[in-house]
Amino acid sequence: MTPTPETWKHGLGLSTLRADFSGKGMSYQPLGKALQDYPPSLLAPMNREELERAITQPAARFSVELEEGLVNKLIDDVGLGEGSLPL
């Protein structure tokens, strides 16, 4: 959903829900109705380059220098499989 002056006037909410729990969410009537009224935006898993940016960009923003090889080590440890989360 793209925020507009109209949506800001009424407020804007953000929530996260893992796909494997969406069935449980739908069984809770208020959440199920909200999911029907406001279809979610789904995010695909990050590839290696996206994970690297998820690590390096916040570090750079705060002038944090990462040890050489650390980013690759973190990505290798987290893995690229389903359910892998950026740090």
More confident residue, 76 or 1: 76
pTM exceeding 0.75: no
pLDDT tens for each residue of 25-69: 888 898 888 888 888 887 778 888 988 998 999 999 999 999 999
Q: Show the 3-state SS of the chain.
A: CCCCHHHHHHCCCCCCCCHHHHHHHHHCHHHHHHHHHCCCCCCCCCCHHHHHHHHHHHHHHCCCCCCCCHHHHHHHHHCCCCCCCCC
Domain boundary assignment for the chain: 48-78
